[in-house]
Structure 1
């Protein structure tokens, strides 16, 4: 399962958002079933970030989302940004 989130820092909150995203990525990468947890920044607008997460399955994704550290960090991230999240799965193109 893949999770993609686009986050826009609230005015004056870019540095704090970036710090929080680094923390959540570091923690996410250490969780069982996580293949990658990357943070991207828009070169045209440094206030916009993209989170790119990939999990083995729904169980690994749910474990991440229900973890205490993720809930705490996501609450703080919501305070300093506006964001949209999509949960997607691969399409078999063979």
Structure 2
């Protein structure tokens, strides 16, 4: 059981196929905007690698792992993430961490 002040951090690295990178860059903000509205979501940030423009890092912070699970089962994750973004990727790595509760 997580401590009261802990949170769940997810860091995802998406490597888009070179020909789809700009489309992935267009879709990620829509996914982020919807995800930020979820109960239990504290933050959702996207960064595009300056030297490898087909690589994106997504940092998501949730109240707990259950809130992340709800996110993964959401309609917007299915329609934007699973149906549109993920098929355009060469690879995808998603790692979860438990945070200390201090978010600055």
TM over 0.5: yes
C-alpha distance after superposition, 1:9-66 (max 9, x if no partner): 1021011111111111011111111110000111111111000000011221111111
Q: Which residue of structure 2 aligns with residue 42 of structure 1?
A: 49
Structure 1 consecutive aligned stretches of length 4 or more whose deviation exceeds 3 Å:
none
For structure 1, the residue ranges without an aligned partner over 5 or more in a row are none
Distance 2:53 2:9 in 1: 24
Q: Tell me the TM-score normalised to structure 2 length.
A: 0.81
For these two proteins, the number of residue pairs brought into alignment is 92
Offset at residue 91 of structure 1 (A) = 6.1
Aligned-residue Cα RMSD (Å) equals 1.5
1:84 matched to 2:93? The reply is: yes
For structure 2, the residue ranges without an aligned partner over 5 or more in a row are 1-7
Distance 2:60 2:47 in 1: 11
